[in-house]
A and B are shown apart, each in its own frame.
Chain A
Amino acid sequence: MNILNLIKVSLKAVANNKMRSFLSMLGIIIGVSGVIVMMALGQGSKESMRQELSTMGTNLLTIRPGADFRGGVRQDPSAMQTLKMADYERIMREKKFVTKVSPEVTSSGQAIYGNNNTTTTIYGESPEYIDIRLWTIEEGVCFNEEDIKKASKKVLIGATVVKELFGDGVDPIGKTIRFKSIPMTVIGVLKAKGYNNWGMDQDNVMIAPYTTVMKRVAAQTWFSSIICSAVTEELSDAAIEELTQILRDNHKIKGDAIDDFNIRSQAEMMETMTSTLDTFKTFLLFAASIALVVAGIGIMNIMLVSVTERTKEIGLRMAVGATGPVISLQFLIESVVISITGGLFGILIGCLLSAFLLPVLGLPSSVPLDSVCISFLICVFIGMFFGYLPAQKAANMDPIEAIRHE
């Protein structure tokens, strides 16, 4: 019994009934293309996140109010007001592993110049913020410590705000714009950063002294966050430890009491986000596996019906010399051929869809090669596993009854 002949026989049988073969493999096509797209999305998201986080500076530390809500539980409003001026001042006095610090207060609203207006967000920061977040001042100057002391009504604006309020050809420097009806003088223009990988316009910003935003715009005495940069990425942990001690002491948190703030480093944020992505990916993979099992069951059902319909053919083959194992192997190969062909189509469609979808979502395109290989192997396995029952059914037929089957 020649295995090559058997493969030819099986291929012929699959090709003979193209519609049925196609319907059999439809489940696999859908399942596999789904897996590929999801894996590509996952990989692309991770990659974009990595790129995004690395543009923010690799030693960035963010202190936020409220206990660590990794579990996703929201805090009540008072818990979000725990970062105060005293904390910032003490950090500035005692910092050893931290270099630059900027307390942050934000507010969103309308900015107006003449007949133009636009919705934007104003960030109240210290001058060090420009360096921490790798901004470049294209034109003009940044505010200074004096401006902080005086809560000067001075502001740096981003490229989108320039475009919306001033259009081309007008120099914004020195002009007065109103934000939430507070007049502010433009003293500098920020170099454009463009959209980030999550589709957010990074240039729709205004940066002003934090005291200005605290007193005049938002009327609040607490910070939304305090942003610091560690001396080096390696010393991030030491920096976190140092900041934690300062804040716990300042907030009079003793012993085992949990912090009423949380500090995240770049690496941690990356890890949190990727672990969320990984969990999501595992869940999607699980869903996809179920889809593939269903697809395999579909193949098995259609093959069982096919075996019954081809009873006479099986009887004939046995009459001219095919043994049970030979018949069994023929149907097993047919099942694997269907499964693999479906898998290949699924991989092709999945890759095409990913190539199209990822750029639309603003993600870097990636071909998840390991997913492709694993999907293919799984298809071979599905073909063999779910083809077993129909193959046995065919092999166990009695040739005499089979030939006379109507």
Chain B
Amino acid sequence: MADDNRKVVIELQNVKRYFQVGSETVKALRGVSFKIYEGEFVTIQGTSGSGKSTLLNQLGCLDTPTSGEYFLDGISVRTMSKTQRAHLRNQKIGFVFQNYNLLAKTTAVENVELPLMYNSKFNAQQRREAAVKALQAVGLGDRLEHKSNEMSGGQMQRVAIARALVNNPAVLLADEATGNLDTRTSFEMLVLFQELYRQGHTIIFVTHNPEIAEYASRNINLRDGKIREDTINTNIKSAAEALAALPIPQDD
């Protein structure tokens, strides 16, 4: 694989993360190394206790390594202060959470505008335009002023994805993004992710569900704080086809 030409978005070099819990040291990450290139759709898969949450926090610049290096878009994160990492998150990361994490009683547009409120380069009009564009990209152009409590789970997750895209991030970080959705809606979400992948976005999808890896371009398997497998998916399944093949729900 000629990967020297491709741009490296994320690079971890022997990242270790230890926690002090009382008198014990919990070794959540025991030396993780990998490179993620621009445009990849990577699933990070592992059971609970595998360290995938800790790894997610590292990737999302919410936490720093105990040792080892983390380069995001060429920038070293390990020595950054809380404030610097906050700015970095604002510019480079788009989060999608399992429970959507939208602001209550707030419209879709306002929710999507949130990251831009903390970016002084955007004025009110530019904010609005970017938010509308992002919502249209996820298929919610007709629900701009709907409030979060007026939407279904699938729609809310779309708003969350739009929010994650609005600041044009270097990487989309999804944490069990389909965890709270039913099967049909989950597949609709995967269709959207694959569409974003086709558009060239870099996506990291953390999950405990091994099935999702079949729809991504690469899968990293984590166990006990170390990488067990790191494989490229040569046969990416189509989520759209899988969605179409789903049995139509019938009333019993």
Is A192 part of the binding interface, using a Cβ–Cβ cutoff of 8 Å? Answer: no
Q: Which of B95, B105, B117, B119 contacts A16 (CB 8 A)?
A: B105
**Does A319 lie within 8 Å of B117, measured CB to CB?**
no
Residues A296-324 near B (CB distance < 8 A): 312-313, 315-324
Give Cα A316 to B60, complex, Å: 12
Chain B: minimal CB distance from A375 (Å): 32
**Binary contact readout B118-130 vs A (1 if CB under 8 angstroms, 0 otherwise):** 1110000000000
CB-contact partner of A400 in B63, B89, B163, under 8 A: B63
What sequence of 0s and 1s flags, for each residue 82-105 of chain B, a beta carbon within 8 Å of any chain A beta carbon? 110011011100010100010111
Residue in B closest to A6 when the chains form the complex, CB atoms: B117
Q: Which residues of B contact A9 (CB under 8 A)?
A: 117
Whether the pair A319, B106 counts as a contact (CB closer than 8 A) is no
Are B82 and A321 within 8 A (Cβ)?
A: no
C-alpha gap A382/B198 in the complex (Å): 55
Query: CB distance B105 to A318 under 8 Å?
Result: no
Evaluate whether A16 and B97 lie within 8 angstroms (CB atoms) in the complex, with A321-B90, A323-B86, A324-B83 already known. no
Complex Cα distance, B97 from A399, in Å, reads 13
* Cα of A16 to Cα of B87 in the assembled complex, Å: 27
Tell me if B115 counts as interface (CB < 8 A to partner A).
yes
Nearest-neighbor residue (CB-CB) of A321 within chain B: B90
Instruction: Find chain A residues with CB under 8 A from B91 CB.
Output: 321
Identify the closest chain B residue to A326 (Cβ).
B118
A5 within 8 A of B: yes
Q: How far is the CB of B172 from chain A (nearest CB, A)?
A: 13
Contacts of A246 in B (CB 8 A): none
Q: Tell me the smallest distance from the CB of A169 to a CB of chain B, in Å.
A: 74
Expressed in whole angstroms, the Cα–Cα distance for A244 and B60 within the complex equals 91
* A320 and B106 contact, Cβ closer than 8 Å, known pairs A399-B62, A400-B57: no
Residues of A110-142 at the interface with B, using a CB-CB cut-off of 8 Å, are: none
- Residues on the B chain within 8 Å of A323, using CB: 82-83, 86-87
Asked whether B120 lies within 8 Å of A319 as measured between CB atoms, the reply is: no
Closest to B99 in A: A312
Is B32's CB within 8 Å of the partner chain A? no
- Which of these, A12, A313, A320, contacts B95 with CB under 8 Å? A320
- Please report the C-alpha to C-alpha distance between residue A326 and residue B115 in the assembled complex, in whole angstroms: 13
Complexed CA–CA distance, A12 and B117 (Å): 13
Q: Is there contact, CB below 8 Å, between A1 and B63? A: no
The number of residues on chain A lying at the interface, defined by a beta carbon within 8 Å of a beta carbon of chain B, is 24
User: Which chain B residues lie closer than 8 Å to A316 at the CB level?
Assistant: 97, 101, 103, 114
Distance between A313 CB and nearest chain B CB, rounded to angstroms:
6
Hey, which chain A residues are within 8 Å of B101, CB to CB? Answer: 312, 315-316, 403
Query: Who on chain A is nearest to B111 by CB?
Result: A316
CB neighbours (8 Å) of A325 from chain B are 83
Shortest CB distance B96–A (Å): 11
Query: In the complex, which of the residues B83, B89, B105, B110 contacts A320, with contact meaning CB atoms closer than 8 Å?
Result: B89
Contact between chains at A16 and B106 (CB < 8 Å):
yes
B104 surroundings in chain A (CB, below 8 A): 16, 313
Residues B83 and A400 in contact, CB atoms below 8 Å apart: no
A321 to B87, CA, bound (A): 6
A320 and B118 form a contact (CB under 8 A):
yes
Which chain A residues (316-342) contact chain B, with CB distance < 8 Å? 316-326
Q: B95: which A residues are within 8 A, CB to CB? A: 319-320
CB distance from A10 to the nearest CB of B (A): 11
Q: In the bound complex, do residue B114 and residue A317 qualify as a contact, i.e. CB atoms below 8 Å apart?
A: yes
A2 within 8 A of B: yes
Minimum CB distance partner of A322 in chain B: B118
Cβ B62 vs Cβ A400 within 8 A: yes
Contact with A along B142-168 (1 / 0, CB 8 A): 000000000000000000000100000
Instruction: Report the Cα distance A332→B82, complex, angstroms.
Output: 20
User: Given the interface contacts A16-B104, A403-B97, does A321 sit within 8 Å of B62 by beta carbon?
Assistant: no
The answer to whether B105 touches A321, judged by C-beta atoms less than 8 angstroms apart, is: no
Q: Which of A1-32 contact B (CB under 8 A)?
A: 1-2, 5, 8-9, 12, 16
B-chain residues with CB within 8 Å of residue A326 when the two chains form the complex:
118
CA gap between A324 and B91 in the complex, in Å: 17
Within 8 Å CB of B57, what residues of A? 400
CA–CA, A321 and B93, complex, Å = 9
Q: Which residues from A are CB-within-8-Å of B105?
A: 16
A9 to B87: give the CA distance in the assembly, Å: 18
Chain A proximity of B34: nearest CB distance (Å): 21
Chain A residues with Cβ below 8 Å from B97 are 316, 403
Known contacts A319-B60, A400-B62; 17 additional CB pairs below 8 A are: A1-B118, A1-B120, A2-B117, A8-B117, A16-B105, A313-B104, A316-B114, A317-B114, A320-B89, A320-B95, A321-B86, A323-B82, A323-B83, A325-B83, A399-B62, A403-B62, A403-B101
